[in-house]
Amino acid sequence: MREITIAGNVGKDVEVQYGKTSGMAYATMNVAVSRKVKDKFESDWYTVRVFGEMAEACGEIKKGERVIVSGRLQLSEWTDKTGAKRLSVELMADEVGRSIRVKKSEGSNFDSFGEPKTHEEIQF
C-alpha cells in the first residue's frame, strides 16, 4: 500500500463540488510541504482529493491554513492531446485535519502559551 501523511499549507480556499450524477461531495486542494535547504525554503506541492462528508467539512479550509493529510497515493496515466503519455500522482485523503504549530521561544516549550492560569482565572 502507498500510504502517506503530509503536513503543509493549503494553496487556495478549498471549494466543494458535487458529482453531476451521484451528487457526492468532492474537493481538491493543493498542499505545499516546505523544508529549509541551506538559507532558503523549498516546497513540494501535493494534489489532494477528498470525498463525501469529509469534503464538505474541508470547505471551511482557507488559503494558507496548515493541514495534516493522511491517505494513499494514486497514480494515473493518460495520453494528452499531442499523443504523449502523462503521469500524475494524487493523494486520496482518508483523514484531513487542521495542524496546530506553536512557535517556540527561548527556554521551555510552554513559554509560547504564557503563564499557567489558576482555576479562578479560567472562565467557563
Indicate whether 16 belongs to any domain: yes
Indicate whether 76 belongs to any domain: yes
CATH number where 97 lies: 2.40.50.140
Indicate whether 113 belongs to any domain: no
Report the alpha-carbon distance of residue 52 to residue 94 in Å, rounded: 11
- Each residue's pLDDT tens digit in the chain (124 positions)? 679 999 999 999 999 999 999 999 999 999 999 888 888 989 999 999 999 999 999 999 999 999 999 999 998 898 999 999 988 889 999 999 998 876 655 554 444 444 444 545 555 4
Expressed as residue numbers, the domain containing 56 is 3-101
Indicate whether 110 belongs to any domain: no
Strand 66-79 with 25-37, pairing: unpaired
What residue ranges in 1-84 does DSSP mark as E strands?
Answer: 3-10, 16-18, 25-37, 40-51, 66-79
Helices (H), the chain: 52-58
Q: Which residues pair with 43 in a beta bridge?
A: 34
How many CA atoms within 13 Å lie on the side-chain side of 50?
A: 25
Q: Domain count of the chain? A: 1
Indicate whether 107 belongs to any domain: no
Indicate whether 119 belongs to any domain: no
Indicate whether 109 belongs to any domain: no
Helix, coil or strand: residue 79: strand
